[in-house]
Chain A
Amino acid sequence: MDSTLTRRAQRTLAYGFLFFILISMATPFVWMISNTFKEQSEIFQRQPTLIPEEPHLRNYVSLFVDFDFHKHFLNSAFIAVVHTFSHLFLASLAGFAFAKYNFPLKNFLFLVLLGSMMVPLYTIFIPLFVLVIRLGLVNSYAGVIIPGVAGAFGIFFMKQSMEAVPGELLDSARIDGASEFRIYWQIALPLVRPALAVLAVLAFMGSWNDFVWPLVVLRSRELQTLPVVMAGMVNLYRMEYGVVMAASLLSTLPILLLFLALQKQFVQGLTVGAVKS
């Protein structure tokens, strides 16, 4: 009797704590959404209102009319899609090579690959920018995409799943006279589709949310991505809070929807590093 009672108390306490944290974490989201429908004066007033007194969509209209939100949205989408497909191709190709071939220096090259993940972005930040200028890639999408397109993590990740592709399958294709590239493209790649989906989700989110590198590369406003434009909208002295909140919400929405559609891939992708360590 006594032990069930303490167990019930423990359970209540545990749920209470978990829900308290959950609500705390949801609050900024909810508060942001509420404020996108408010007038600046209502945001500023002393008494906070969860449900806006006079809800309106003027902030959203202003976002598209005054800030060309749709154009920057498309810029972000374009960069993210090109980055994702190029990264999937290069990472799966290299992952296939590391998993399915033996070649001199393989282990050494793989160590170099793992070591490349240790290079901090900010250490190479300035020279990388100088290089991108010299290559004529500044203020271009190529300049945003190319330096980070062959990330080592993706190769490491694809190698793991390529290892599960049966070697006999590849050998029988070889006997039929298929080229090595065709073996990769037509036999190996379709077999690792689930892993590709996980990596795609990660690559897309990384590119979509990226801030610092596009900030320095994209100089002209019409090329800029959402995070860069949103950062520009943050002016601590005179800011249209409702509009900025609407931008923040709409920029998060695609990833949120993607997450709801592909929950498993997200969770798997983001924890894979921990599992493999």
Chain B
Amino acid sequence: MSSASIVKDRGLRAWWSRSERKVVPYVFISPFYILFIVFSVGPLIYALYLSLHRWPGTGPMRHVGLGNYTYLAGDPVFLKSLWNTVYYAIGAFLFILPLALVLALLINSTLIRIKSLFRIGYFLPILTSTVAATIMFLLIFNNEFGLINQGLASLGIPALKWLDEELVKISVLAIVTWRYTGINVLYFLTGLQSIPPELYEAAQVDGAGTWAQFRYVTIPQLRPIALFVGVVTMIGSFQLFAEPLLLANGGPNDSSLTIANYLYRMGFTNAKLGYGSAIGWVLALIIFGLSFIQLALFGAFRKED
């Protein structure tokens, strides 16, 4: 080794021992940012670019300006999928959240002693994959031999067509409610258990009854958790995919189709990559917009007082 390279080596070592602690954190966090830029930011921008073009996946792209977006606004199937998705989101709010809150309140109350049986029991459905969960319900909702219709028949009630246009969305919502109620019970329970007991004691001293305590202590104290649960439920409902696909193939007559299902159909089945990307961006804007509204409604942007 020449003396010059020894000096250089020493210099490098000295530099490293001086700067290791400054450089190392960037090295440690870099895998995330590299992957995030390559696999999220890049595709996000590329999706915007694609959405301004007509492209079947191979060959040249044709610039169409906002053509895909204006076409979307008048596409009856897209509008149907948008309505269906909104229906699922509203349904999730109306079915899952009140049910989960009531169950959590009951489990948390002094009336109930065997709490963990219910906590754990309600939780189990979230462990299934969306595919396995939907498959289970094929035997529940089948128009001819589903368990519900068999049950109705044994009571002498005529069968209902659970997978036909009128009821299929309710069936999808039932699967979603089944799968997600338990996890929301846990969220609410976490919220309820973090309410300081002194607040209830103080309310009792002030002569508040059970209802007044619920109204003036429990509800306001649950605000942060309610915001979290609301945002998660909304984002989840707007990205429903497997349940309508496997239960009814998005049908009949697109009556259970979600935005995600339609995006998949356009982008992958029909190879309209530009159009599919436009659907994706509309979906993102809806999700961002609704998240923002929820945060604003719950006062998350207000300064703590």
Contact = CB atoms under 8 A, between A and B. Distances in A.
Interface in A223-242: 226-227, 230-231, 234, 236, 239, 241
A234 B276 contact: no
B224 interface: yes
Instruction: Name the 5 nearest CB pairs between A and B, nearest first.
Output: A209-B129, A97-B28, A124-B43, A127-B43, A127-B46
A179 B139 CA distance: 59
A198 interface: no
Interface in B113-133: 117-133
B83 interface: no
B268 A216 contact: yes
B187 A274 contact: yes
A117 to B, nearest CB: 10
A123 B132 contact: no
Nearest to A181: B24
A14 B112 contact: yes
Interface string B33-47: 101101110111011
Interface string A123-153: 1111111110000000000000011111010
B24 A180 contact: yes
Interface in B227-248: 227-229, 232, 235, 238-239, 241-242, 245-246, 248
A199 to B, nearest CB: 14
Interface of A: 7, 10-11, 14-15, 17-18, 21-22, 25-29, 31-32, 35, 43-48, 90, 93-94, 96-98, 101, 103, 106, 109, 112-113, 116, 118-131, 146-150, 152, 155, 179-181, 184, 205, 208-212, 216, 226-227, 230-231, 234, 236, 239, 241, 244-245, 247-249, 251-252, 255-256, 259, 263, 266-267, 270-271, 273-275, 277
A152 B32 CA distance: 8
Interface string B186-230: 110011001000000000000000000000000000001101110
Nearest to B224: A277
A130 B46 CA distance: 10
Given A128-B39, A227-B131, A28 B121 contact: no
B155 to A, nearest CB: 12
